[in-house]
Structure 1
Amino acid sequence: MDVSSQIEIFKAIIQDIQHSNTDIIKISQEAIKLCRTTLCSLRGIVKSKGFKSQKEEVQFFKKLKQIPSSYLIYYLEVYAFECQLSKISIQFRQKFSDKTKNHYYQFLMNHIDFVNYIEQGQAHLDICYFTRNQSVQIMMMHTNDYFYDLDFYTSHDMLLTKINGYKRFIDYLEDRINGYSHVSYNSKLEWTSSKVALTELIYALYHSQAINNGHAEIKEIANELQKIFNFDLGDFYRTYLEIRSRKKRKTKFLDELSMCLTSELEKKNS
């Protein structure tokens, strides 16, 4: 299997993992395993086949390898953060999250020149940064990176991995922090249909890409609707699996919604 195929498989599986559970610890554990397995496979391909050109080598270390490696960094950080957070009293959690976020912002600031190089789409130093030039690696590798296999790392691809992973983690922390300060809806609405019905609606909104142009995560949609309707869905993914296993009328509630609206419209027109 080639590198591109491995990456496409990784993308598909990581999405399944992200939508397979509401427990971020479990999601992180599964994602970390997948990232490590994928990187091990990519390492085998690189060591056995090599690259046809410097352009191909740069593409691998600057773009392709970054996908599983940055997710690995991200989920390692999420896992460590959530494990620590669970041991901190509620009144100190926002302070802890702010302090953590500032730490990663400081890392980005410490490497601002390289961050700008990447964000501005520059490429004039790519040969130095993203090919396995041994003399450059000796100068640029940090002391805590001494154990890296030099056939599978360049002087800057791990730095880029950390930057990409930390950026994603900062976004995660900001969502967490916003959650602490989020003002309650004080909604007077109450969901009086079933858990299964609300789950159907959530997944319909998600798969139709009707919210945020399709960029909203399933968990975000579920959390917001639970707040609006003062309703606890519990493990809604398990409910979704039950819906998928139905023999007939998988979208029973949505079908009923459509029928009710259609019937009412026809009454108004008669």
Structure 2
Amino acid sequence: MNLKINTLLSDLNEQLNFIDIEIDDTINRCEKAIDIIIVSIQKLKILFLKEKFKNQEQEIDFFKNIKPKFTSKFIYYNIIYKIETKKPYGGERIVKKYLNNELQKLKTYFDNNLDFYKYYRTGNNYLDFKYFVRGKFDIKLTIDSFFFEVDHNFSTSHDFKVAKILAHDLVQVYLENKLIEINNKSVKEKSQHNHNAKLTWTAPKVALIELLYALQSEKVFNNGSTDLKEIAEYLENIFNVDLGQYRRTFLEIRVRKTERTKFLNTLKETLEKRMNNSDEPI
């Protein structure tokens, strides 16, 4: 079963990485991700229910270390979806207050489950037979009410709590990065308030990242002496866009199964079409 699960998790991560770089809109990206994850968890459940565990340790390992890798992704994208769809319209101060309130919610959950956080984070296992074995729940061990609504053939009292810990770590990073983006944008706007209006990049960010690497590879700036970071910051500035983790995105572009230079190919085709159109004004 482990080989099939590893393949399933690898496929899931590949699909999520693909939509992360192909879909800029956060809400649309979350919707697509949630659909993909639900299908993957359903496949995981089918594999699990067919399996006959040889011992309790295998069951504990599945619910403590394997299943949360899948369900944490669902929790993460679902939380981000709710955050983005409920985000208020308004100025910088209003949005920052909203994001900080969301961070506070994570802290509240942490405070309410501090004992289990400590247990899990420190690698303890003396209560695993209660936390991660089906039918062994102990009401005294702070169980989420969600547990009583799930399929107990595919759940234990605390596997969902582990998934929430993993998901909340990622949500915290997301929220903190959003706050940093707001602060950076504010600094940029203050430094540029006397400048003329700039062009804004409205195509997907992944397209500009393709262009970024192409320009740097061709050494078109300063006879090739300009490094990638300088060019990225320049493009972000002139096109009023945040390229995010562009190096990670480039790695994802490299492993595309088809058409790795999709945007550059489209540019070439569009330009040639324009050249071939005699009625097109110069």
TM-score (norm 2): 0.68
CA contact (8 A) 1:137 1:154 kept: no
Whole-angstrom CA distance in 1 between matches of 2:214 and 2:69: 26
Residue aligning to 2:89? 88
Residue aligning to 2:27? 25
Residue aligning to 2:212? 201
The one-character-per-residue Cα deviations of 1:2-42 (angstroms, maximum 9, x if unpaired) are 22221121122111121121111111111111111111111
Residue aligning to 2:263? 242
Whole-angstrom CA distance in 2 between matches of 1:165 and 1:197: 30
Equivalent positions of 1:63-82 (< 5 A) are 63-82=65-84
Q: Return closer, same or farther for 1:103/1:223 CA change in 2, 3 Å cut-off.
A: farther
CA contact (8 A) 1:29 1:79 kept: yes
Let me know the Cα RMSD of the aligned residues: 3.7
For 1:150, what is the secondary structure of its paired residue?
coil
CA contact (8 A) 2:99 2:175 kept: yes
Instruction: Look up the equivalent residue of 1:72 and give its one-letter code.
Output: F
Equivalent positions of 1:103-182 (< 5 A) are 103-132=105-134, 134-136=135-137, 141-182=143-184
Whole-angstrom CA distance in 2 between matches of 1:203 and 1:118: 45
Whole-angstrom CA distance in 1 between matches of 2:74 and 2:231: 26
Equivalent positions of 1:52-67 (< 5 A) are 52-67=54-69
Structure 1 residue 77, shift from structure 2 partner: 0.6
Q: Return closer, same or farther for 1:34/1:197 CA change in 2, 3 Å cut-off.
A: closer
Structure 1 residue 224, shift from structure 2 partner: 5.0
Residue aligning to 1:3? 5
Whole-angstrom CA distance in 1 between matches of 2:86 and 2:231: 25
Residue aligning to 1:231? 239
Q: Percent identity?
A: 22
Structure 1 residue 242, shift from structure 2 partner: 2.5
Equivalent positions of 1:28-43 (< 5 A) are 28-43=30-45
Q: How many residues align?
A: 227
Instruction: Look up the equivalent residue of 1:230 and give its one-letter code.
Output: I
Whole-angstrom CA distance in 1 between matches of 2:268 and 2:213: 21
Structure 1 residue 232, shift from structure 2 partner: 4.6
Whole-angstrom CA distance in 2 between matches of 1:89 and 1:6: 42
CA contact (8 A) 1:202 1:222 kept: no
Whole-angstrom CA distance in 1 between matches of 2:75 and 2:61: 20
Q: Return closer, same or farther for 1:172/1:47 CA change in 2, 3 Å cut-off.
A: same
Whole-angstrom CA distance in 1 between matches of 2:101 and 2:11: 36
CA contact (8 A) 1:78 1:169 kept: yes
Unaligned runs of 5+ in 1: 206-220, 249-270
Structure 1 residue 175, shift from structure 2 partner: 0.6
